Chains A and B, each alone.
Chain A
Amino acid sequence: MSTREEILGIIEKNSRIDVHELSVLLGADELLVANELKSLEDEGIICGYHTMIDWSKTDIEKVNALIEVKVTPQRGLGFDSIAERIYKYPEVTSVYLMSGGFDLMVILEGKTLQEVASFVSNKLSTLETVLSTATHFILKKYKDHGTILAKKYEDTREIVSP
């Protein structure tokens, strides 16, 4: 595996790791690692250093929904221009072009059910190229970004010898 791949492997799981520690774990030169990180950022391969938050454990209410959207692709622009119109809304957290029964998967974050509902009916459905939408609310997140939210790791190894 290249240093680049290894860096990405580690930093994907722990974005707070500093250059020194990264270089220790990889057994690589610190300067080399720093340069590699810099170019990964410059090339847009590393797009950000976000924090995973399990909002359900806080007092802050958040509602997440997945919306399947069918659209009419536009001549010369395909799906890109309609995707752009959708992703510019700040409440939209992700937009994916999909294969299969619908075209765009839009992931939305709102404060309340009503807020999400009104976004769909007032903003999304009214777009000219949108043919139909199907909204699915997320009830509980068990695992997100490879992290199991439902339960915490516990060391249950018993004392054994030899």
Chain B
Amino acid sequence: MRNPIGKKVVDIKPSGIRKFFDIVLETEGAISLGVGEPDFDTPWHIRDEGIYSLEKGRTFYTSNSGLKELRTEISNYIQRTQGVSYDPIKEVFVTVGGSEAIDLALRAMVDEGDEVLIPQPSYVSYEPCAILADAVPVIIELKEENQFRLTAQEVLDKVTDKTKILVLPFPNNPTGAIMEKEDLEAIAKVVIEKDLYVISDEIYGELTYSGKHVSIVSLPGMKERTILINGFSKAYAMTGWRLGYACGPQVIMEQMVKIHQFAIMCAPTTSQYAAVEALRNGDDDVLMMKEQYNHRRRFLLSEFERIGLPCFEPYGAFYVFPCIKKFGMTSDEFCTRLLKEEKLAVVPGTAFGDCGEGYIRVSYAYSLENLKAAMERLERFISKL
């Protein structure tokens, strides 16, 4: 028989988080701080709207781009948070999670051999998606001394004639780093100068703990060259609903929707009705969850300081990214031993790129009680080293 598998797919490495979780599953009594999804239930009024839509018999496809009602709410949301207006019909469309939007944006925009700049450590999907789109991923290694923010110089160092896209993954998973307005202004200047496009993944935008999240699309000249990606998973604790969206120039959106209509048809209808409610009446829920996350973030940072684990202060997402270099182990060794000896699971920084070596990702999408128990284990582990 012929080899059934295509070479391009085989060569893609499986996610490093996956490998680690397989061990976690086998460890009895393990506490995990590994999960990357909110521990809150979707607020009831949002679930209720989903149920109500089912009761009313809203069980058909929506238009390929998504419910007009929802696209209008998305457009309103960006207007009120970023002061940028998107045409809900031509410049906004609804996807199956932010992750579909990342895939589509890359596929719609690159030709074979185009280079895509991907800052790392970051979410694990950008690189494989770029490869699947026949682009060449070019990694930018973010540095702790810059609080894992992206600098203009780092972009300039990697730009070539072939560079077409810069992926902007902030607030960042796994570091929790954010980009403030001044940071973005410096990047925008380079982007315009080098005629690049930006894929800005702002799925954690609402979870910003110092001031308000600033999107690069709010800077002059950037709306025209940015695909803004966001979704409902993190802000509204709606991971299982699989709903995200992309906003950007009509010419790009048209091509993305083309792929979307052939591959997906449309995002889940029930989820779209629920999401309308989330955007209309969900602000207080976001605020409540954000406050809880912020308490946990402060708690973890204070605990790290107490037990002697160096960590820069992250202001976004729900992760902290402490440095374990002083223990003379690789991230993988550290995490494996921590799991084996203290039954505590965190994710090695290397799962998010080679430059994550020397760091671990600790998620605080867990209750304070859970985090307290976990910190006792971490302290015991570190004191033995």
Contact = CB atoms under 8 A, between A and B. Distances in A.
Given A157-B37, A161-B15, A162-B15, A25 B298 contact: yes
Contact of B17 (A10, A27, A161): A161
Which residue among B37, B123, B124, B298 has the maximum number of chain A CB atoms within 10 Å of its CB? B298
Interface stretch (B18-26, B130-138, B197-205, B275-283): B18-26
Given A24-B298, A24-B299, A162 B17 contact: yes
A161 B18 contact: yes
Nearest to A10: B295
Given A157-B39, A159-B24, A160-B37, A25 B295 contact: yes
A162 B347 CA distance: 11
Contact of B21 (A9, A24, A26, A159): A159
A155 B302 CA distance: 25
Interface size bracket, A side: 10 to 19
Interface size bracket, B side: 10 to 19
Interface in A19-35: 21, 24-27
Contacts of B295: 10, 25-26
B175 to A, nearest CB: 15
Nearest to B22: A159
A159 B27 CA distance: 13
B125 interface: yes
Contacts of B21: 159, 161
Given A155-B39, A157-B37, A157-B39, A162 B298 contact: no
30 contacts: A1-B291, A6-B291, A9-B291, A10-B295, A21-B299, A24-B298, A24-B299, A24-B302, A25-B295, A25-B298, A25-B299, A26-B298, A27-B298, A153-B367, A157-B35, A157-B37, A157-B39, A159-B21, A159-B24, A159-B25, A161-B15, A161-B17, A161-B18, A161-B21, A161-B124, A162-B15, A162-B17, A162-B36, A162-B123, A162-B124
A-B pairs with lowest CB-CB distance, top 4: A161-B18, A162-B124, A25-B295, A161-B15
Given A24-B302, A25-B298, 10 more contacts: A1-B291, A6-B291, A24-B298, A153-B367, A155-B39, A157-B37, A157-B39, A159-B25, A161-B124, A162-B17
